Amino acid sequence: MTAGAKNVTPVAVITGASSGIGAATAIALGRHGYRIVVGARRVDRLARVAGEDGLAMRLDVTDEDSVKDFVREVSRRFGRIDVLVNNAGGALGLNSIEKAVDDEWIGMWKTNVLGLMWMTRASLPLLRKAKHGHIVNIGSIAGFETYRGGAGYTAAKHAVRAITKTLRLELNGEPIRVTEIAPGLVETEFSVVRFHGDRKAAKAVYEGLKPLAAEDVADCIVFAVTRPAHVDIDEIVIRPVAQATVSVVARKPARRKS
């Protein structure tokens, strides 16, 4: 489909959509009638997420050229973006500041902050071509809380929160809504990535409680983007019942093996 073709189906672009929250969001929005465009580095996982009518393309948000190429193709095919979900992000490591690893901090900032900025900046012209645009940034409760060993990630997610609030000011008066979704513990590949593939350490994060699933967060995103056009859901904070703060979590004791 070219930019000039008539297309009344809303177009939703989701970054980091090869798994977890991004994949669940793409599937949920597809079920609600959106034309899905998904991007991630692991292209082989995207076909299932995009569906028969969707578009799956390689996207590395840490590479500005990759972002530009991705958005250029969206523009060529659809001519606009109705919903942009900036989901790509993640944490690396759990070291104290004293033992901070430069590459981990740089990686977190490039993915969570610069990638979000590059994607938003490149997409704004297409969001302005939609009747009603919507930017959804996936933040975290780490965007307004801190915890030991989390300085690199919390700093990045605090930045996401600041960028989101600034976007609301800068886009005020335009028909573009801005929403931040801030989840707590969600069982996805998040912890596997944080612990560099150590699945035992990742599993321990969720032991003794029922964490959120990616679909729980996707439900919140769908709710926000399907409100009437004059309604802006500024932010949604979502946690499992067992989690009061980042570090205050009620866990059931492990069962003893007989």
What letters, b where the CB count within 10 A reaches 16 and e where it falls short, cover 51-74? beebbbbebbbbbbebbebbbeeb
Q: Which of 34, 147, 153, 206 is catalytic?
A: 153
| Helix residue ranges per DSSP H, the chain | 20-31, 46-50, 64-78, 102-109, 115-127, 151-170, 190-194, 199-204, 214-225
Higher pLDDT: 192 or 101? It is 101
- What mean pLDDT is predicted for residues 233-241? 98
Would you say residue 252 lies in a domain?
A: no
Would you say residue 256 lies in a domain?
A: no
pLDDT of residue 200: 80
Higher pLDDT: 88 or 196? It is 88
The CB density around residue 192, as the number of other CB atoms within 10 Å, is 17
pLDDT of residue 2: 39
CATH code for the domain of 178: 3.40.50.720
* Structure tokens belonging to residue 232: 């802006």
pLDDT of residue 258: 53
Q: Are 157 and 184 in contact (CB under 8 A)?
A: no
Would you say residue 193 lies in a domain?
A: yes
Q: What is the mean pLDDT of the chain?
A: 92
pLDDT of residue 5: 42
d(CA 206, CA 191): 9
pLDDT band at 88 (very low <50, low <70, confident <90, very high): very high
pLDDT of residue 159: 98
For residue range 117-156, what is the model confidence (pLDDT) as tens digits?
Answer: 999 999 999 999 999 999 999 999 999 999 999 999 999 9
pLDDT of 77 > 60? The answer is yes
Active-site residue 153, yes or no? yes
d(CA 143, CA 158): 4
Would you say residue 191 lies in a domain?
A: yes
pLDDT of residue 1: 37
For residue range 198-223, what is the model confidence (pLDDT) as tens digits?
Answer: 678 778 788 889 999 999 999 999 99
Would you say residue 150 lies in a domain?
A: yes
Number of domains in the chain: 1
pLDDT of 191 > 70? The answer is no
Q: Which residues constitute the domain of residue 184?
A: 11-238
pLDDT of residue 92: 92
- What mean pLDDT is predicted for residues 229-246? 96
How far does the chain reach from its first CA to its final CA, in angstroms?
63
